[in-house]
Every structure is written in C-alpha cells, then in structure tokens.
Amino acid sequence: MTAVAAERITSADHAREVAARLASEFALDAAERDRLRRLPFREVERLAASGLLAVTVPAAHGGADLAPSEVAEVVRILATADPNIAQIPHSHFVYLNLLRLAGSDQQRTHYFTRVLDGARIANAQSERGGATVAEVGTTLKPLGDGRFRVDGSKFYCTGSLFADVLAVLTRLDDPDGRAGLAAGEYIAYLPAETPGVEIIDDWNALGQRTTGSGTVRFDGVLVERAQLVERSGAVRAPTAYGSFAQLLHAAIDTGIARGALEAAAEFVRTKSRPWFEAGVERAIDDPLTIQRFGELAVAVATAEATLTAAGRAVDAATSAVEPDIVAASIAVATAKIVADRAANEVAAALFEVGGTRSAAADLNLDHFWRNARTHTLHDPVRWKFQHIGRTVLRGTPPPLHGVI
C-alpha cells in the first residue's frame, strides 16, 4: 500500500464533523459491500486522507492529540454507517498508543510522522492453534548482526489488506542472550511489503466480512532493532492501554446498535404493514410496535451513555498524575457488556419490528446482526462480569494483560 496525502484534523469538533461526513458516504453502499464482500479500499483511502487516522498523534509531534473519549466517538459515528470500516483502524490506534507508551523518541517521531502523512497500521497479533489466544508462537530470533528474524503465522489480522505497516506480536527466542534484550514479547513494526511477508485474503466469517481480517505469514522476515517495541512497557504496567483498546471495541458495538435502530425505524416507516389486530392503517401506529421501539431506543441510549462515561474514565486514566487504572478498566468493561447486549438485541429485533418483508435477502438487513454477533465475539463479556464482580466483592483489581 502507498500512503495517501492526508488532511490535518485540528480539534475534537473537527474530527466529529469529518467522521459524520464520511459516515454519510459510507452508509450508502454498506449493505451492498457486505453482500458482495467488496473490500472498501477506496473508503479506507478516504478515511486516511481525511486525517482521522492521525487524531491520536501527540501535539508535540504535530497531531490533534485527541482524548480517548473523542477517538471512541469518531469510531462510534463510523460504526453506525459501516462497522467494518470502523473496525479496520482499531489496531491502528492501539499500536500508535503502544508507541506513545513504550516507544523510543526516534520511533515515535518516525511513525507519528508517517501517520500524519496518511500511513495505516494494522495488527498481526492473534494466532490459531495454540492452547489459548494468549500464546505467541511467532518468534523473534537475533542473527548476531543487530538484526532479527521473524517466523510465524497470524490470523484475525484486521486491516492488513489495507495497511502500510504491520504491527507484529512476537516472542523473543534468545536463550543465549545474544541480543541483549529482556525476555518477553515485542511488537515488530514492519512495512507491509517487507520481503517474506505474505498477506492472505482468507477471512470468511459470517459478519464483519470486509475488514480484511485474514492470515499474515512471516518467513525469514528481517527486522532491525529500531523496528522493535517491548510490549511489557504498556501491557504489563498500570497504563490505560487495555482500557483504551476495549473502549474502541465498545464504540463499534454501540455504533452497530444505533445503526440497526435507525434502519429498523426507516423500514417500519416506509415498508412495514401493521398487524391486522392493531386496527390501524400504518405500522408506526401499532401500539405494540411503538412499545418495542421505545424499549430498543432505551437500550441504545443506555449503551451510548455508558460509552460516554467509560470514555471519560479512560481520559482521566491517561491524563492524571496518579491515574485510576482500575476505574477505567471497570468502566470500559461495563460499557462493553452494555454495548454487546444492545448491538445483538437491536440488530435481531430489526426483523421482529420490521415483519416478514424485512427478511428479504436482497435487502441484506441481516448484516447488522451478523456484524454485531461476529464483532462481539472478540473477547467474551462473561469475563468482564468476573472482573467487575471481583473488584466489587474483594477489591481485586483487574489483571494487567491488555484486554480489559
């Protein structure tokens, strides 16, 4: 991929305005893109060119330095239109945050400058085949000349098909201590066209079909020390790294819920017929339909309000001298649970209130539910309840592993 020339976002209001304008464009063909699995290359280029992908770049490096809550709002706005496009830059923001927290001055200057110029970062983190998703089989081996070799295979590499840079999670394989680095996990920032990197378009999930979340393979890929960032500085320390990443996931689900509600309302207003027992001429006058829309609207509004509260908690955790990381994690876990419920409930209820006509395959209204069901599988909310309950009952803080 070649980075596009990007505009500069200057404020939170500017970011919201641009996001709303792009969302209006992206919504027009979202259902068709999903139905045909037409990858949004043009749309992602528009997103990069808009400057929205650089909104977290610190002010010292020329960026807008927006707070996490404002980034979440941008993602939520985009997700109401097309959650596939909203999810594509998720890892982009997360790995910019890793650079902010754990990168060197030189690394921050290099990558922040590239992003301001329109570059896109995607993840190559998760793997298949391990005992758990937390296992890292992709190795980073020192060659003795200041370089390293990366070998392995990754899956769920969201956005990799559209990326200029891949953020690759590796495990240092250096039993003899030749590299002079601490044991542990490192992120290797690799240009997507690096020799030995193979990006494969094999994502075939029932939802989030156009996120480019397939396989990336690494065969003898050479990496310089300047491309490596030790992950523990962000993940194993009391930072808001995990809560920021989870906040953006909650924003995607909240956006899906709002998008599904708006689509349902439009369908009932323009296409649905009332049930004959209601004794009314229009579906929007059916009292049971009105009741159900009231319930769904409350679910969506609750998700949005909870997301806002979580965003403020993450803002505080990233800006305070003595940040309350526990409060941020618990607030985001709560938002994730509420958003999960709202997205799945409203997307399914679309057919309940829309009637048989809404199930027509050519309308593809099921993409809301398929996207909600697929994206909410990202990390199980049942464990969010566990962390919340342990904190309430025992005062036990959530673990530092980057997923809460």
Q: Which residues of the chain have pLDDT under 50?
A: none
User: For 329-388, what is each residue's pLDDT tens digit?
Assistant: 999 999 999 999 999 999 999 999 999 999 999 999 999 999 999 999 999 999 999 999
pLDDT at position 340: 98
Which tokens sit at 353?
């209130």
The two structure tokens encoding residue 89: 């830059």
Predicted local confidence at residue 322, as pLDDT: 86
Q: Where in the chain is the domain with CATH 2.40.110.10?
A: 139-230
pLDDT at residue 3, as a whole number: 55
> pLDDT per residue over 252-272, tens digit each?
999 999 999 999 999 999 999
Report helix, strand or coil for 104.
coil
Q: CATH 1.10.540.10 occupies which residues in the chain?
A: 12-120
3-class SS at 219? strand
User: Which fold would CATH assign to domain 238-394?
Assistant: Butyryl-CoA Dehydrogenase, subunit A; domain 3 (1.20.140)
Q: What's the length of the chain?
A: 404
This prediction's pTM: 0.97
CA angle, corner 185, sides to 150 and 103, nearest 5? 95
Euclidean distance between CA atoms 78 and 80, whole angstroms: 6
**CATH number of this structure's domain 12-120, picked from the four choices 1.10.287.3510, 1.10.390.10, 1.10.287.70, 1.10.540.10:** 1.10.540.10
- CATH for 139-230 is 2.40.110.10
Residues of the chain with CATH 1.20.140.10: 238-394
In terms of Cα–Cα distance, which of 197, 192, 258, 211 is closest to 20?
258
Q: State residue 321's pLDDT score.
A: 84
pLDDT at 1: 52
